[in-house]
Structure 1
């Protein structure tokens, strides 16, 4: 955790949340008690902040200062509202291209994907509030600064984002091996949102049920899958190829 993106102390974290700061995750010492901590815990639940209860030794590794049993990651970016962003893109007259990440958890993969998204003209990246990789110093580094150029939206549930895309006339396409259809057979010249899944489990079954299309990349070797950031790059550049014709 980079020091620039870290705050510690119960009161400091409460004030940061009340001030509207984007908190990616709060680490709390196991067994913590007290009235002020109760206030913080209620606030974290109310705001839906991702929390993790850890041994004090882990918190001591984050900082040598008096952390009072609480250390928080602050996001280096501000997140966009999905509906406002989608409306702006649609009204701009360009053909929308969105990227939806379903429970992607590795911050370096996330950073690499953001970098590719910026290079391929993605209008916005959508992640879920809980269970998704946070925007950390490692994300910023592996994105080569692209994290400050591509709008990122957080939603309560990925399925809600998919339903909103569909209602807005944006086709949703899931990257999944559970199909015979390759990405090269899918029309990508109209408004679309590409959905990529988690590194180990892929796209969740409940999400796969509601997408407009599923598509895969042909694998000609013996290994059964690609790294998610590499697969994402292949999908996005197929969009670019089709739209440049």
Structure 2
């Protein structure tokens, strides 16, 4: 699905895209690039904290369709990301009871797309992801979301902790989905302003994040398998919220 993305290639073109404010998912770079123009690009990458990956030239050739990529290809996000502080203020002013979703370095684009789709169906006001280490919003994400990625505001933050601080300062409680607790999801009050934290596929919610949240909750598992797919678990949490809020 990478070829379905909007790719730009060439160091100068990528520099201009960054300086114009384009939302860039990732920049692919050839190893051992040198020169003044590359150093200018590298400075912008660090300044804007953009995600990069060092890849073989064969991948750059494929992404650029064998055009003159100069050792650099950037993938432009098909959506515009929202400012979290502005989104929180807008939600509070709307009179709705806020419901946010934080994804702690979720990496699989299909899981991400499925979660976005469920979030749209359950009235989530915004999804928050980390700039680095998170699944991108690409063509496959949008396809899996059934287009919901264009409907649910998505915010990028430098770190999930930044979002937690801001949400808690806005009197929005936070609950992490984790098996490292005895508390059930059914004991959480979802009628209050709330943000749900879901972890990555393999690690779950980061321990440092677990120390910050207001609540921790788990889903009861009655079979022999010890965990659920993260998008399924997220759906269960979100529909418990729906159940409580419409009752």
**TM-score scaled by length of structure 2:** 0.97
**Equivalent residue runs for 1:18-167 within 5 Å:** 18-62=19-63, 63-167=65-169
CA contact (8 A) 1:101 1:195 kept: yes
Match of 2:215 in 1: 213
- 1:7 is matched with 8
Q: Is the 8 A contact 1:5 1:137 kept in 2?
A: no
- CA drift of 1:3 comes to 4.3
By how many angstroms is 1:4 displaced?
4.5
Rounded to whole Å, the distance in 1 between the matches of 2:4 and 2:210 is 39
Equivalent-residue separation in structure 2 for 1:185 and 1:144 (angstroms): 32
Q: How far apart are the structure 1 equivalents of 2:135 and 2:113?
A: 10
Q: Report if aligned partners of 1:104, 1:198 keep a CA contact under 8 Å in 2.
A: yes
Aligned to 1:190: 192
* Map of 2:201 onto structure 1: 199
Runs of 4+ with deviation above 4 angstroms: none
Q: How many correspondences in the alignment?
A: 245
Please state whether the residue corresponding to 1:2 is helix, strand or coil. Answer: helix
TM-score with structure 1 length normalisation? Answer: 0.98
SS of residue matched to 1:241 = helix
State the distance in 2 between where 1:240 and 1:144 align. 21
Which one is further off, 142-151 or 157-166? 157-166
Query: Once the 2 structures are TM-superposed, how far is the Cα of residue 27 of structure 1 from its aligned partner?
Result: 0.3
- Report the aligned-residue RMSD: 0.8
Give the conservation status (yes or no) of the 8 Å contact 2:25–2:136.
yes
- For the 8 Å contact 1:114–1:146, the answer to whether it is kept is yes
Q: Is the 8 A contact 1:107 1:138 kept in 2?
A: yes
Aligned counterparts of 1:11 and 1:179: Cα–Cα separation in 2: 51
| Unpaired stretches in structure 1, ≥5 consecutive residues | none
d(CA) in 2 for partners of 1:7 and 1:160?
Answer: 31
Tell me how far 1:30 sits from its aligned partner.
0.5
Match of 1:240 in 2: 242
CA distance in structure 2 between the partners assigned to 1:118 and 1:69 by the alignment: 39
